[in-house]
Amino acid sequence: MIRIFALIILLIPGALAAYGIKLMRDMTFGILQAPFPYLWLQFLVGLLFFIGGLAFVTGFIFHRDQKRNKVQTRFKK
């Protein structure tokens, strides 16, 4: 059951990062999405979504590996 919760916790930021990539791609092709009045604002929000989602997933994986002592010695606590 705990693994299912961990998967759900990882899927939400992963989906947010994927949506961020979609927003940035749409801005590149000039497609303006509904809640954004400007293309540059759409790109910035997409970039924030992507960086935030990616940072959460990588931090989650790094924390898990750190608990299991699977990181380099300089990252061990």
Burial of 3: CB neighbours in 10 Å, binned 0-12, 13-18, 19+: exposed
Q: For position 77, what pLDDT does the model report?
A: 77
Which structural domain, as residue segments, surrounds residue 20?
2-75
What stretches in the chain show pLDDT beneath 50? Answer: none
Q: How many domains does the chain have?
A: 1
**Contact criterion met (CB below 8 Å) for 23 and 42:** yes
How does pLDDT run across 31-53, given as a tens digit for each residue? Answer: 999 999 999 999 999 999 999 99
Q: For position 61, what pLDDT does the model report?
A: 92
Distance CA 21, CA 55 (A): 14
Using DSSP, state whether 44 is helix, strand or coil. helix
Distance CA 41, CA 18 (A): 17
